[in-house]
Structure formats: structure tokens, C-alpha cells
Amino acid sequence: MPPVGFLDSRDRGQALESRQADSTYPAHTIDMPIDHFPDSPRYAPHTNATFSQRYYFDSSYYKPGGPVYLYIGGETSGPSRFPNLETGIIQILMNATNGLGVILENRYYGESYPYSTSTTDELAYLTTEQTIADNAYFAAHATFPGIEGNISAPGTPWILYGGSLAGAQTAFSIKTYGHLLYGGIASSAVIHAVLAYPEWYAPIQKFAPQDCVTSINNIIDKFDQIVAANNTKAIKEFKTLFGLEALTDNRDFAMTIAFPIGGPMNYPTNTWQEINFNSTYGSRDFFYFCSNVTNPDAPANITAIDTVLSHYTHGRPWTNLGNYAEYVKQTLLPLCDPGVPIDSTACFGTQNQTFYAEVTNSVARSYLYSTCTEQGAYQVAPASGPSLISRVLQINYTQQWCEWAFPPGKYNSIPSTPDLSFYNHYGDFNISADRLALIDGNIDVWLDVCYHSNDAPPRYSTDLHPEYLIAGAGHHWDSYGILDVEAEPQFIREAHLWEIRTVKKWLKDFQRWKTGALGHTEL
């Protein structure tokens, strides 16, 4: 397992900008019911207990009568979302409409844990339906010190925003609690659950520098050939070139050399997903990786490695293998502490059942549980065609972590594979709700489980059911800003202006909605 542990590859960019809470946004808490569904057999035996759920708010733009913008925290701590109050989408919308901005930390993340540990039984309440029920309960019960009057829902327009997993939770919240929550913007919302998700690599194949893509595809093809032939001698020689011969499990090795590309599930350096129009929050790691792999001026001792294994491939060179191996040795290997075995879970190994069963509360454990029970989307190599990661990386690799991490408890056990029905029953690709805006980026690695997936049907955008696909944008890029919308790159600028227009149209009809005079016809 990488030194940084599991990271949610759906939303790792925000996790990387995590910062300590400071006096700018002091933490508040609400007593949240652990179990919102006392009649559901899914959560038996039930509990009447509550837990302290953290939230933060910014009232610097607020004027009485303004809306409340609830940023759904997602799979990270509340403070890591502060940029969205400071310069991002919530700041943009607050400024445009005299609104109040709030960040709600998700249950089982940050410091909002119902229990002191995360056993399989204690994680039973970490489900999509419990999480979105938190959002509705919070909107109806939250208080904001210093703000006069009652601004809870539905008396005040509450508009949710979330990106990635939190985007899906935003969409599901509006779909389920539309009588209470006035509207929502779901950005890069992973609304479609699927077990295997090789499409994660499709935008990289299509949009990344093609000399880099071709080099990696060809090297992986050759590696997979020697694996298919069970040529153990060649496999060991290949691993040795990367300094990773100690990784006896071919899948651990394949994942490690895939870290600069991404996944499956976790990676210690930034990837395609972490590029961003805003350099404050983005990273050029992926492009540094590609420029190193394709370096035409590499020294002779590096380029000579390209032919070291040629006798295994009928004399054909492994073009840029030397560059690839050198990058891994110079960038990834130093991440392991000196003296730590390469194949240990403190470095790049994963084959340690005891390690995964550790019940300490953590982002890693919470996210893995949701993946294993409801969300799926295991990152795997495609069944055919070019591949940036080895074909040894398949469903069983991720599934074994699930089984090791979450042995059956007294009351709760995980399914043999994720039960996708809990997630997809909200509407899947056809999800629709009044005042639910769905916005995506067309170079996002998660695009094909989002509203604008290549597998989704075409739809018309309307004021009541708006949608937007941002050209050249990645994972919820619209959540970021620079405090000057007009100075932003054109497609991000126009997306933000569209979001402002959309919300303003909604707000004009709030009083009619509040009194029940607004039906479900098009605005």
C-alpha cells in the first residue's frame, strides 16, 4: 500500500489541499441522528444516539432574505473545502446573490465520526441514504450564531453544491428531499454505479500527450505478453529495471508503476485527475511524468535500457522503457522510508490482510467501505484495446481489500461485490429533479459515470432541469475560482456565469414554490 494510504481517486484534488481549521471559519457542530431510518431492517438493531457533525459557515456576503448555499463535504474533512468559501463556487454564488455559505462535513470523515472506531458493525450507518438524510436534517435544524432570524429550510431557499461523490449526494438529496431543499448544483456527480470502471483511463488515452500515451501502451502490452507466457525470468528482469523486484505480486508491481497515471484507487503522486485550470489547486505532475517518459535527450545509459528485454519480444525495442523506469526510481521509490521493505504495506505492497482489518477511523477506511458496499467503480484495465495499466489489474485485486478490511460483524456484513442498486435507484443516468443542475467536464476521468457519460442518452437542458458540459475541463473544475470570474479561462468563466444565471432564475420563483403556487411545469 502506498505511503499515503488509500486516497479517494474520485476527489483526490481537494484532499491534497487539506488545511488546518483556523479562526476564519470556526467549527460548529450539530447533534445528528446516527440512524435516520428506525423502521428500516437494513439498520437493525437501531440506535437512537446522535453524533457531533461539524460545519462551517461564511456570512461575509449575506443579507437578510438571501439564500443558503450548502457545500456537501464529501469524502474528506470540512476544512479541506475552505477554498470553496474563499475563492470558489460558493464564494461566487454568495457574492452574486447575497447568500450565506456553509460546509457540512460528511459523516465518518474529518471529525464527524459516530463512533471512536470503524468496525464493520459501526460502519453500517455509512450509506448514501443516511448521508443525504443528514443534508436534509441539517437544512431543517442548523443554527448560525450571529445570524438573526430563522433561515432553516424550507422557509429559506437552500441550494446545495457538491462535486464528485458529493455531487452525487447533492443530486440524490434534491431528488429525495425536494420538498425541503430548493435546488442543487451537482458537479462531476458520479451518479452511475458500476462494478468495473476501465473508462477511468479513457480521457487520458484520448487527451494526454500522445507520444507518452503510445509509449506506455506499448510497454504495458509487452509486459502483459510476458505475464501471459508466465515468463518468470523476464518478469523479474522487468521489475528489476524499476527497482521493484521485491514486489512478488504482479498486481502490486503493476499498480506501483501505474501510480503516475492513477490507481487503481490510490496513488501517492498527482495524476491526470489533479490537473486544474487554477494552478493553486492543480498539479503538473502528470505532465512532468510524460515529459520524462518521452525525453528525447535522455543519456545513453538510460536509452540503452530500451533494448535490454528485446530478446523477449522478437528483437523489438521497448521504446522509452528506460525513461519510464528511471522516473519511477527517482520519483516513487524515495517515497518509502529508508530500510522499509518495498513489499510491505508501509511502502508498495498490499498483500497484508491484518493491515486492512485495522479499525482506526480514517478517510481511507470510510471511503473503501462505501466503495465495497454501494459505489463500486473499481479501476481496472480494459478488456481489449490499448491499456495504460497492466491487464493483471482486475476486479479481484480491489475486492480482496474489501474482504480483508471488513470481515462480517455481529449485525453487519458487506456483500460479495458492491450492491449497486442502493446507488442507482435514484435515477442513474436518467436522474432528474426540479432545480437540479448537472455540470461536468469533458476530460474528466469520471465522466462516464456522470450525467454526460458517453453511455448516457441525449437530453434537453431547461431552466428547471439545466445541464452543462464544460469543454476542456476536468473533475468539478467549476468548484474552483480566482475571485474574478471575468478573468478566468473562457470555458470556466462561462460555466460560472451560467451557474449564476441559473441560480438567479430559481430564486425569482422561490416565493411561489414556498407557498405551493409553483407547480412542476417548465419555467
Residues with catalytic roles:
164, 444
Rounded to whole angstroms, the Cα distance separating 373 from 415 reads 6
| Residue given cell 441550494 in the structure block | 159
Q: Parallel, antiparallel, or unpaired: how do β-strands 28-33 and 50-58 relate?
A: antiparallel
| Cα–Cα dist 479/3, whole Å | 28
**DSSP codes, 421-466:** HHHHTT-GGG---TTEEEEEETT-TTGGGSTT-TTSPP----SSS-
With b for 16 or more beta-carbon neighbours within 10 A and e for fewer, the 449-482 pattern comes to bbbbbeebeeeeeeebbbbbbbeebbbbbbbbbb
Task: Give the residue from 121, 120, 103, 119 showing the smallest Cα distance to 111.
Answer: 103
R_g over Cα of the chain:
24
- Let me know how long the chain is: 523
Which three three-digit cell numbers place residue 102? Answer: 456553509
- Identify the helix (H) or strand (E) that includes residue 165: helix 165-176
Q: Are 325 and 241 in contact (CB under 8 A)?
A: yes
271 vs 262: CA distance, rounded Å: 6
The alpha carbon dihedral of 458, 461, 466, 470 has a sign of: positive
* Contact between residue 404 and residue 371 where contact means Cβ atoms under 8 Å apart: no
424 Cα distance to chain centroid:
17
Q: Is 489 helix (H, G, I), strand (E, B) or coil?
A: coil
Q: In what order do the strands lie in the sheet with 467-470?
A: 28-33, 50-58, 100-104, 68-72, 158-163, 183-187, 436-441, 467-470
